[in-house]
Chains A and B, each alone.
Chain A
């Protein structure tokens, strides 16, 4: 036709953008801005707290935040899959308390196994309520959170269970090659999470279902299984984190993990994973964790009122999402 080319190809590739360079700048800011934020916070940390970068401090920060990080890996999957899990804190407490209770009477190993298995069951309950009975994930996990907490408080008589046996504290307090075991476990969970999300068929489907559930369903994806799976994984990891935390502190109690849900969501969101689902990454969650952990450490070292920490955390969460939205709008304009 009027076109000189021989084969008739239809226009493909990215839609013509008005200002490629500006878009690229926005994209870079969106993709790498969070790393810049981390660097800035680390620099601030070294200024206000000279011991911040010392190996011992770094190890301490990582192992303290290992349970939170493990929960955040599960939360990342849930959120990418288009869901939400408010019950991680409750599951965290269920597992830690059950493990400690059992460890006082029986073996510590049985305690851990039962604790983690309970997390699996809790996750399964969430999955069924959300995908079978189609209860909105926010409501479903808000409800199940209260349910799980209530049950474990009832069973434990609201008592903390102190366990000093080394067979129990082993999980949270051993060191391997000078590094705390929880930190190593955190690394392994992150690696597995990354593999599942980036290299597995399941991870690809979580991204697809979160991005467009109807399209995925019509393409023959079992969307309920894929989404349900994220809650099971999240429950399992929350329970694992609860067991580690109980072992670190030598105590299991029903009130543990009270801020776990909000903190883990904060970690995921600060990293830039969209609450709308369909996009996000484990590396971003890792960066989010490091940012929160660093802040935590700064405030701890300054020995100021911990309420300042809450305030700064709140500002950072809202700021991160607002900034992400701004970049998004700039990209679509």
Chain B
């Protein structure tokens, strides 16, 4: 009996027994039992607010459990103390990266564990060790570059290097691929496998079920703060997972395939932005959702930002409803003069005031309608906010709690409601579903389509190509700052593969610049 237990302990990396955590009245994790084998990649999946991130946070020592028992490699973890978890060889890479942007790449890798002698930094030794790590990871990064100037993918790599450098035995990754391009994603998945083969246990949270199935050994599904099931990956299919996550069969974006016949609302030609966009031309009709597909860094976001007046260096000619209009130079000008609004990519930084309540956020742009004589009428404001949030099934009643208490999906719904309330004639939507769950995604995309059906023009982009295919009437594939191809969704039905083929076409710098034919035909 006793030896058996020790064998089991030796093979178990993580054992959670009846772990719970509440924040105020919200129960984030309830009574979770979880065991993770040593040296496996264990995926945690679930809808937003299912409790995955909280569970990960408890293992990382950032959050203390309210109840229950955490054991890591047979050692009990008090929880709530990052240093304790570090001592237990646990490292975590958060979705929001914890990079010190002004320090060098190498300094970030050794943050908190600087190589030194008697309090003096040994810069050269750190650079050498950093170069070794780069070789191990098969990447080339200059260790002296300031970390803030590196791409998000590289910054994330620095964090993983930090973990490896610390001889981490348990690596926790919170949505590691959410902001990566396909190529970067494949690289990261390969790296995860390599680390696992070196004996590192990895627990990761992801919304991308394809990559969950591709990379993990075991999958645990959570729903409503509870664990639903843990099983080896071979026992799951994608639709099983979705069903377990949502408790229902997967929903789709509802739509009919017919070409919108509305007037052309926005026509932009020769849109250029030094270093990002080269002579892009596009138009969008009333009632139409125009999708922009492309790799990260292809210029999708720059294009939206240029149209929204956020890129003063951009240039182009603009027609609104057939009339020549000046090129937008500021977001205020785009909004007030041209009636173009941008739903920003970064909901926490740009879309919401996290500490303010849902009503305050949703009615921020038109407080005038709920106030009299300069004073806000609380009741009118709350009623208006409830009406605006009505189409979105929020898992909490709209009231005066801070938006930060909502899950990522809930927050995104609030941002969307706020922008829809502005009622612009052209809505630009950048990454509306980043980091939110399947059910919330469908609701968000449906809301975007309904908005278009009210006779509005919508331009949407997302790094999830399936999503762009699902929601758009027409798709432009953006490749290295140009239009690489176009699909009419009423007559064609391209798959992800077709879009990717186009997107990668110009990726090879030696290839001749071709195929703007799709655009011209």
B-binding residues in A (CB < 8 A): 1-4, 7-19, 199-205, 207-208, 211-212, 214-222, 278-279, 333
Contacts and interface: CB of A to CB of B under 8 A. Distances in A.
A16 B297 CA distance: 10
Would you list the 8 A-B pairs with minimal beta carbon distance, nearest first? A215-B98, A18-B275, A219-B112, A211-B100, A18-B274, A220-B112, A219-B111, A212-B100
A72 to B, nearest CB: 21
B183 A207 contact: no
B101 interface: yes
Nearest to B275: A18
B149 interface: yes
Contacts of B113: 220
Contacts of A202: 119
B111 A215 contact: yes
23 contacts: A2-B508, A8-B186, A9-B138, A10-B151, A10-B153, A10-B154, A12-B150, A12-B151, A12-B157, A14-B145, A16-B275, A18-B273, A18-B275, A201-B121, A202-B119, A204-B107, A208-B100, A208-B112, A211-B103, A212-B98, A219-B162, A220-B82, A278-B101
Interface string B505-516: 101101100000
Contacts of A201: 114, 116, 119-121
Contacts of B312: 333
A83 to B, nearest CB: 16
A14 B183 contact: no
A217 B82 contact: yes
Contacts of A2: 504-505, 507-508, 511
B436 to A, nearest CB: 23
B398 interface: no
Given A215-B99, A279-B102, A7 B138 contact: yes
Contacts of A15: 149-151
Interface in B484-521: 504-505, 507-508, 510-511
Contacts of B94: 218
B508 A3 contact: yes
B141 interface: yes
A3 B83 CA distance: 42
A199 B102 contact: no
B231 interface: no
Contact of B276 (A18, A199, A200, A208): A18
Contacts of A3: 507-508
Contacts of B184: 10-11
Contacts of A212: 98-101
B151 A11 contact: yes
Contacts of A19: 274-275
B236 interface: no
B313 interface: yes
A215 B138 contact: no
B82 A13 contact: no
A214 B97 CA distance: 10
B397 to A, nearest CB: 31
* Residue picked from A7, A8, A11, most chain B C-beta under 10 Å: A11
Nearest to B183: A10
A215 B102 CA distance: 12
Given A3-B508, A215-B100, 4 more contacts: A2-B508, A11-B153, A18-B275, A203-B121
A33 B243 CA distance: 62
Interface in B71-117: 82-83, 86, 92, 94, 97-103, 107, 111-114, 116
Interface string B134-148: 000011111001000
Contacts of B505: 2
A218 B121 contact: no
A12 B139 contact: yes
B401 interface: no
B111 to A, nearest CB: 4
A203 B153 CA distance: 28
A222 B86 CA distance: 13
* Residue picked from A7, A19, A203, A204, most chain B C-beta under 10 Å: A204
B100 A17 contact: no
B102 A278 contact: yes
Contacts of B154: 10-13
A9 B62 CA distance: 32
A153 B281 CA distance: 74
B508 A214 contact: no
A1 B145 contact: no
A166 B186 CA distance: 75
Contacts of A220: 82-83, 86, 112-113
B510 A4 contact: yes
* Residue picked from B112, B151, B153, most chain A C-beta under 10 Å: B112
Contacts of B274: 18-19
A211 B112 CA distance: 13
